[in-house]
Chain A
């Protein structure tokens, strides 16, 4: 029990470019998720500044940060966070509904996204009927369907076995290359680390190392 302030991130100075496939790596409590939440405009730094797609997080109103998340940011969560009462199709359709995209176009975009992740045969299934790998692929389709500029993935493989982890990582890598979407992973999973092209090691809220891997 303590009453003092906890500093999750300290002295961070990072820039992410278009089309990056980056891992923010560190043990639990190192500040990975906090960093991802700030980039995702779900949290605001108590000090310092964060610019997301040219906009200062601190200056965003609740409506403008929601608008930014709605159109430019995609999220993938460790436990998938799918809507249990919706079908696969409806889950993927949700971000497009929020954007008010018209039905025919919406349908095509959802089918495209499901094709990217190889789940066109599961459109009528409910999340409870899917395996962990399939659920995470639905989550990827939901994050990608609106063609966001940045996808933030918090421990996306934590609940998956090795085969499924590689499968979804390959899917994300492919989407990253084809659509030039920036992927930022918060992870300490070696499998994810083996895929990323930039590794940012966080320790006690500070950047311990920032490495760019040449995979060519």
Chain B
């Protein structure tokens, strides 16, 4: 305790030099927590929106379905297994049939994925109720990005061409019955949602589906050779990989900041040991062992991080709380990132994140403080007392 008291006095006594170090170190604290909180918030928002708009409680995929290979689409469909068909009828499972197609908005040609979905489904946030139509036309819903790219609006008609299960081309007009705003580009960009039964008719695939989207899973997962269950971990793996990759830039930035702060602490320690030779000699003369003096200087250096945590808390807590409550506006469109990203991100600052960051910075500062302090153990106290450089 005596060493802590003494180190604290010495540190405060050093005045401006201490506060410069402390401020630089506090920036590191706040920016590390901010960038990590932003990534956590992004991750949470992306997971939440993907589940809400696309994934549901999990998905059964037809064994041949590969979302990254459009050539598999012609074969990746099958009848819903009996066990699941019963659940599907009460909308606890949403069957989705996926086919390739082409639309011709304003005379241009654009490849799309046609997705058939039951209008009465309640699992996904898609406004599929707009797919209910009393007329004989084919209603469709598209996302706002798709609408912007194709310049289609509600009530517009557009020609849709597809190939049925026999490979025969056919075409019809579809009516844009509604647009939806989503942060999930994989249900928006290049996608046209139409009623499931219509698509089954068009594809000559009655009762078949490509993907079965589950609601909240309550019982055992049924699996057959033809249908493979994909849980959240699998379905969200891509987005987590992307966020991790994007997070590496944040790691580099806070690594540089931490390095700068550590250089400042290291430099101060080296400078202190040279400048305070007489003081070190006096400590030894008054009865401290050299080990105790090393400990004192190490604590003194490490205390920079304690003060930095306190200073960082003074401006960091209000600043980060404000952002966590009001969110941070993202100036680019989510589709540019190729993954779910809302116009506003709400950073998440967990206790673990804050405590972990504080501990890591304190540990690194302690090591950086100890490193030059070891020199004290080799000082000759009689030379040190005279203030001679050693």
Tell me if chain B binds chain A: yes
Residues of A within 8 A of B (CB): 33, 37, 40, 42-43, 62-63, 66-67, 69-71, 75, 77, 79, 81, 83-86, 90, 94-95, 97-100, 142
Indicate if the CB atoms of B282 and A81 lie closer than 8 Å. yes
Q: Does A42 lie within 8 Å of B14, measured CB to CB?
A: no
Q: Which residues of the partner chain B approach A83 to less than 8 Å between Cβ atoms?
A: 10, 279, 282
Determine whether the beta carbon of A85 is less than 8 Å from that of B285. no
B382 touches A100 (CB 8 A): no
B360 interface hit (Cβ, 8 Å): no
Give the secondary structure class of A's interface: helix
Determine which of B2, B5, B285 lies in contact with A75 in the assembled complex, contact meaning CB atoms within 8 Å. B285
| B285 and chain A: residue at smallest CB distance | A75
C-alpha gap A17/B2 in the complex (Å): 34
Are the CB atoms of A67 and B287 closer together than 8 Å?
Answer: yes
**Per-position 1/0 for B264-288, Cβ under 8 A of A:** 0000000000000011011011111
Asked whether, in the complex, the Cβ of B284 is within 8 Å of the Cβ of A81, the reply is no
Which 4 pairs from chain A and chain B are nearest by CB? A85-B13, A70-B287, A81-B282, A66-B289
Does the CB pair B281–A95 fall under 8 Å?
A: no
B284 contacts A98, CB within 8 Å? Answer: no
A142 to B282, CA, bound (A): 11
The chain B residue with its CB closest to the CB of A36 is B382
Contact yes or no, B382 A37, CB < 8 A: yes
Q: Are A69 and B9 in contact (CB under 8 A)?
A: no
Q: Is the CB of B385 within 8 A of A85?
A: no
Which residue of chain B lies nearest to A34 when distances are taken between CB atoms in the complex? Answer: B382
Q: A89 CA to B281 CA in the complex, in Å? A: 20
Residues of B within 8 A of A33 (CB): 382
Would A95 and B285 count as touching, CB distance under 8 A?
no
Q: Given A37-B382, A85-B9, A97-B2 in contact, is the A69-B287 Cβ separation under 8 Å?
A: yes
Decide yes or no whether B79 CB sits under 8 A from chain A: no
Contact of A95 among B9, B286, B385 (CB under 8 A): B286
Q: How far is the CB of B83 from chain A (nearest CB, A)?
A: 76
B290 at the interface (CB under 8 A from A): yes
Contacts of A98 in B (CB 8 A): 2, 286-288
B284 close to A66 (CB less than 8 A): yes
Output the nearest chain B residue to A81 by Cβ-Cβ distance.
B282
Docked CA distance A49–B147 (Å): 97
CB neighbours (8 Å) of A63 from chain B are 289
CB-based nearest A residue for B290: A62
Other 18 A-B pairs with CB < 8 A, given A42-B381, A83-B279, A85-B14: A40-B285, A42-B284, A62-B290, A62-B291, A66-B287, A67-B287, A69-B286, A69-B287, A70-B286, A75-B282, A81-B281, A81-B282, A81-B385, A83-B10, A86-B13, A97-B2, A97-B6, A98-B286
A94 / chain B contacts, CB cutoff of 8 Å? 286
Q: Confirm or deny: B12 has a beta carbon within 8 angstroms of a beta carbon on chain A.
A: yes
Cα-based distance from A35 to B13 in the complex (angstroms): 35
Q: Which residues of B from 148 to 195 have beta carbons under 8 Å from A?
A: none
Q: Are the C-beta atoms of B286 and A75 separated by less than 8 Å?
A: yes
CB distance from A40 to the nearest CB of B (A): 7
| Contact partners of B285 in chain A: CB under 8 A | 40, 42, 69, 75, 81
A99: which B residues are within 8 A, CB to CB? 287
Residues of B within 8 A of A86 (CB): 9, 13
CB of A89 to closest CB in B, whole Å = 12
Kindly list chain A residues whose C-beta atoms are within 8 Å of the C-beta of B9: 85-86, 90
CB B172 to nearest CB in A, in angstroms, measures 86
Q: Is the CB of B385 within 8 A of A84?
A: no
> Is B287 in contact with A85, judged by CB distance below 8 angstroms?
no
Q: Could you tell me the distance between the alpha carbons of A81 and B382 in the complex, rounded to whole angstroms?
A: 13
Q: Which residues of A contact B287 (CB under 8 A)?
A: 66-67, 69-71, 95, 98-99
Instruction: Give Cα A56–Cα B180 distance, bound, in whole angstroms.
Output: 91
The residue in chain B whose Cβ has the minimal distance to the Cβ of A94 is B286
Q: Give Cα distance in the complex from A92 to B286, angstroms.
A: 11
- The CA-CA distance from A200 to B208 in the complex, in Å, is 113
Residues A66 and B288 in contact in the complex (CB < 8 Å), given A81-B282, A97-B2: yes
Residues in B with CB closer than 8 Å to A43 are: 382
Q: How far is the CA of A59 from the CA of B127 in the complex (A)?
A: 89
Residue contact A85 to B382, C-beta cutoff 8 Å: no
CA–CA, A142 to B6, complex, Å?
16
Smallest CB-CB separation from A43: which chain B residue?
B382
Tell me which residues from 363 to 390 in chain B have a Cβ below 8 Å from any Cβ of chain A: 381-382, 385
Q: Which A residues lie within 8 Å of B291 (CB)?
A: 62
CB-defined contacts of A85 to chain B, threshold 8 Å? 9-10, 12-14
